[in-house]
């Protein structure tokens, strides 16, 4: 396949399509709209369906209905729209419905700065719905990776029957790069019931990996799906034991696969005394800053979170043992830094920015220098 000039948002649409997404429901919002526009064009070409809904709540509802009817589904939005989607992201977690939600972050809160990049929705991605729930959050730093992460997000949604947040930002969403997209893609198929109705099939009985093989609608299983706490039959249960077990299982199904899900990109860590931790579009600048600092003889490593949640506790703890200090660079007032502080066993410093503009490498370099002075 020859290289193509492509935008991050388009790469997400392409990746989702390659991973088998056949249904998109959405509502326009900058800077995510290109994902909807690409899929409006591409989906009907492959027999898929694009529908523009009346708002982002409806967009979530329509993809969850489509997912239950057997399609792999995606929606995309940004800050204000993601806030509306939260209600039914919780439904997807509770009813274990595979769905991918792309958040192309812009400056908030509220309408904020619609065209300006931000990474201010990190904690929203983790906790943005009511109640205890687990979730997978992935963040790419390049156009090519946006494609790959889109494939991964769809696969994880299907494998774990969970909502997956593809947390990108305006930087990567609107980045144009010449990319050669991979052709040999592994696709996780929709899970299927292993026994028949007659054999006593229950839609929410967990398989060995703790994930239930929920039948699609229209396949003769006559299942019941609800956002109420339910037992393996799918029907509501008022039992404390069932409540505890179900909430725990929905966490465990993801946490037990953490080592597989968590991906962290590390460079120059062999001799590192310091490290810069970053993710998404900011990591591009952080990388440059690390290169510049190393040219000046500073032993600083580069750590990029590809999987934001589940958080890379173990990895951060491990690497922090050999470090004198960590700098967390993020395009917000400080969010992931608290996760890093929790895990790290060395001093942690925040390099935050929240003024519409992206980092300059010099700003991060300067923070590295300050960190070195502070830990002396």
Partner 1 sequence: MRSYENFFRQNRLPHLWCPGCGNGIVMKAIVQAIEKNPDFNQDNTVIVSGIGCSSRASGYMDFDTLHTAHGRAIPFATGVKLANPALNVIVITGDGDCTAIGGNHFIHGCRRNVDLTVVLFNNNIYGMTGGQASPMTPLGKKATTAPYGSVDRPFDACKLAEAAGATYVARSTAFHVQHLIKTIEDGLNNRGFSFIEALVQCPTAYGRRNKMGDPAKMMAWMRDNAVMKNSWDKLPDDKKIGDKFPIGLFFKAESESYDESYKKVQEIAGGAAK
Interface positions with partner 1 (CB under 8 A)? 22-23, 25, 41, 43-49, 51, 53-55, 57-71, 73, 87-88, 91, 217-228, 235-236
Q: In the complex, what is the shortest distance from the CB of residue 57 to partner 1, in angstroms, rounded to a whole number? A: 7
Q: With helix as H, strand as E and coil as C, how does 177-222 read? A: EEECCCCCCCCCCCCCCCCCCCCCCCCCCECCCCCECCCCCCCCCC
Which residues, in sequence order, are bridge partners of residue 348?
326
Closest to 125 measured CA to CA, from 153, 164, 88, 151: 164
Which residues, in sequence order, are bridge partners of residue 117?
106
Return the number of the residue (22 or 126) whose C-beta is nearest partner 1: 22
In three-state secondary structure terms, 348 is strand
Q: In the complex, what is the shortest distance from the CB of residue 204 to partner 1, in angstroms, rounded to a whole number? A: 14
Q: How far apart are CA 331 and CA 356, in angstroms?
A: 9
Q: In the complex, what is the shortest distance from the CB of residue 132 to partner 1, in angstroms, rounded to a whole number? A: 17
Q: How far apart are CA 139 and CA 274, in angstroms?
A: 23
Q: Decide: 209 and 70 in contact? Cβ < 8 Å.
A: no
Return the number of the residue (214 or 289) whose C-beta is nearest partner 1: 214
Q: In the complex, what is the shortest distance from the CB of residue 117 to partner 1, in angstroms, rounded to a whole number? A: 30
CA atoms within 13 A on the CB side of 134: 23
Q: In the complex, what is the shortest distance from the CB of residue 314 to partner 1, in angstroms, rounded to a whole number? A: 36
Return the number of the residue (218 or 297) whose C-beta is nearest partner 1: 218
Return the number of the residue (42 or 137) whose C-beta is nearest partner 1: 42
Q: In the complex, what is the shortest distance from the CB of residue 82 to partner 1, in angstroms, rounded to a whole number? A: 17
Phi, psi of 310 (to 5 degrees): -55, 145
Q: Which helix (H) or strand (E) holds 336?
A: helix 336-343
Q: Decide: 157 and 135 in contact? Cβ < 8 Å.
A: no
Q: How far apart are CA 266 and CA 326, in angstroms?
A: 13
Return the number of the residue (227 or 361) whose C-beta is nearest partner 1: 227
Return the number of the residue (60 or 175) whose C-beta is nearest partner 1: 60
Return the number of the residue (26 or 117) whose C-beta is nearest partner 1: 26
Q: Which helix (H) or strand (E) holds 29?
A: none
Q: In the complex, what is the shortest distance from the CB of residue 217 to partner 1, in angstroms, rounded to a whole number? A: 4
């Amino acid at each position: 396949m020859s290289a193509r000039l492509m935008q991050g948002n388009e790469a997400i649409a392409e990746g989702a399509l390659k991973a088998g997404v056949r249904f998109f429901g959405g509502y326009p919002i900058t800077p995510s709209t290109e994902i909807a526009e690409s899929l409006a064009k591409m989906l009907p070409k492959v027999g898929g369906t694009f529908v523009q809904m009346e708002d982002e709540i409806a967009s979530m509802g329509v993809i969850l209905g489509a997912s239950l009817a057997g399609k792999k589904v995606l929606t995309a939005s940004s800050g204000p729209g993601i806030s509306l989607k939260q209600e039914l992201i919780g439904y997807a977690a509770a009813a274990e419905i595979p769905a991918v939600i792309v958040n192309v972050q812009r400056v908030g809160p509220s309408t904020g700065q619609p065209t300006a990049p931000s990474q201010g929705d990190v904690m929203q991605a983790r906790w943005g719905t009511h109640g205890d729930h687990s979730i997978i959050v992935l963040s790419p730093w390049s156009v090519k990776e946006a494609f790959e992460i889109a494939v991964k997000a769809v696969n994880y949604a299907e494998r774990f029957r969970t909502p997956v947040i593809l947390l990108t930002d305006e930087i990567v969403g609107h980045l144009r790069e010449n990319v050669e997209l991979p052709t040999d893609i592994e696709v996780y198929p929709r899970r299927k019931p292993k026994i028949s109705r007659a054999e006593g099939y229950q839609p929410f009985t967990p398989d060995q990996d703790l994930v239930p093989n929920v039948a699609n609608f229209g396949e003769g299983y006559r299942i019941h799906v609800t956002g109420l706490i339910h037992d393996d039959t799918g029907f509501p249960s008022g039992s404390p034991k069932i409540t505890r077990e179900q909430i725990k299982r929905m966490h465990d199904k993801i946490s037990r696969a953490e080592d597989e899900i968590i991906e962290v990109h590390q460079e120059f860590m062999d001799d590192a005394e310091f490290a810069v931790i970053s993710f998404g579009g900011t990591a591009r600048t952080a990388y440059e800053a690390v290169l510049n600092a190393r040219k000046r003889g500073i032993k600083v490593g580069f750590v990029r979170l590809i999987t934001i949640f589940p958080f890379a506790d173990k990895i951060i703890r491990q690497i922090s043992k050999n470090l004198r200090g960590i700098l967390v660079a993020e395009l917000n007032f400080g969010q992931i830094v608290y996760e890093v502080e929790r895990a790290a066993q060395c001093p942690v410093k925040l390099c935050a920015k929240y003024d519409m503009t992206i980092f300059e490498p010099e700003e991060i370099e300067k923070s590295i220098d300050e960190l070195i002075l502070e830990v002396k």
